[in-house]
Amino acid sequence: MAQQALLHETIRRYIRTPSFLVRFLPLTRNGLRAAAVRRAFRAEAGLRVVLETFLDFLQEQCTPKECQDYIEAVSKIQTGDMTGREAEKSFGTDELAGQGRHDLLLPNVRLVNGPTKSETRQRLMLTFNSPFFPEIFITSNVMAEGVDLHRYCRYVIHHDLDWNPSVLEQRTGRLDRIGGKVERCGQPIHVYLPYVAETQDEKMYRVVMDRERWFSVVMGEKFRLDARTTDKLAQRVPLPASVAKELALRLEVSPSG
């Protein structure tokens, strides 16, 4: 009962938070209107559906321990108009390392990098996989593989590129999982690869995209490393090494004569 009461209080706190409600209804200077709130609850993909989906997930798909972890994690994130030094109260000291000015902190934006403790990473991963905060998750390569971030996200921005396209696919694969938001809403994952034109960034971008295209030419399929595609590839009959050697392009210069 204590966990249930904590979850109820957390939900009530969020549905009074403008930065959370703005996802579901327009906010005006005159404050919330009762009619707008009712429409937000009754909409096809509105607030009520989002909350019920999360509650069903906790009840039907989580073990008691997982359910408890989710509830405790989302209850610890600060909401409301708390920003800057007020929002800092819900940040761990390891989260604040290297973040510069703490007076600019926002509760719905979180950073995970090397100094972030494993228990903090786990807590933020749980909250990001909920309909609550954080809404924006900034991570380094420490969260690039082996974790699931798919339940309420379908947008990925690769702010740093990599010479190997498989690294980018591996990162995107955090969202390409069974039971993700893309399945519930029927919309694709959006991937963005920003770069600064006429710099080393643009050179890297062109090389990475060219490598991905060559993979499609050689392998006859799109370069993907999500769990579903990997399972299909694992079921294939391995290509014998002798055949691979015969089929490989040989570009070396043969000795004269």
pLDDT tens-digit profile of 44-76? 888 999 999 999 999 999 999 999 999 999 998
Of the candidates 26, 31, 21, the one whose C-alpha atom is nearest the C-alpha of residue 51 is: 21
Which stretch, 10-14, 26-30, 218-222, has highest mean pLDDT? 10-14
Of the candidates 139, 123, 15, the one whose C-alpha atom is nearest the C-alpha of residue 79 is: 15
Token pair listed for 148 = 């699931």
CA dist 115 and 118 (Å) reads 9
Mean pLDDT of 28-33: 76
Mean pLDDT rounded to a whole number for the chain = 82
pLDDT at residue 230, rounded to an integer: 54
Question: Has residue 102 got a pLDDT over 90?
Answer: no
For the chain, give every domain's residue range.
144-235
DSSP the chain: -HHHHHHHHHHHHHTT-HHHHTTTS---TT---HHHHHHHHHSTTSHHHHHHHHHHHHHHTS-HHHHHHHHHHHHTS--TT--TTTGGGGS-HHHHTT---GGG--TTEEEE-TTS-HHHHHHHHHHHTSSSS-SEEEE-GGGSSS----TT--EEE-SS--SSHHHHHHHHTTT--TT-HHHHH--PPEEE----TTSHHHHHHHHHHHHHHHHHHHHSS----SHHHHHHHHTSPPPPHHHHHHHS---SPPPP-
Rounded to the nearest 5°, which phi and psi values hold at 72? Answer: -65, -35
| Beta carbons within 10 angstroms of residue 21's beta carbon | 18
CA dist 123 and 137 (Å) reads 12
**Category of 250 on φ-ψ map: left (φ > 0), alpha (ψ -120 to 50) or beta:** beta
CA dist 23 and 163 (Å) reads 36
pLDDT at residue 217, rounded to an integer: 57
Token pair listed for 219 = 């392998």
Question: Has residue 131 got a pLDDT over 90?
Answer: yes
CA dist 148 and 125 (Å) reads 8
Contact criterion met (CB below 8 Å) for 24 and 49: no
Of the candidates 70, 83, 74, the one whose C-alpha atom is nearest the C-alpha of residue 19 is: 83
CA dist 25 and 37 (Å) reads 7
Contact criterion met (CB below 8 Å) for 210 and 181: no
- Tell me the per-residue pLDDT of 195-217, one tens digit each, with 9 for 90 and over: 888 888 888 888 888 877 766 65
The percentage of the chain sitting over the pLDDT mark of 70, rounded to a whole number, equals 81
pLDDT at residue 104, rounded to an integer: 76
Confidence of residue 234 (pLDDT cuts 50, 70, 90): low
Contact criterion met (CB below 8 Å) for 20 and 79: yes
Confidence of residue 156 (pLDDT cuts 50, 70, 90): very high
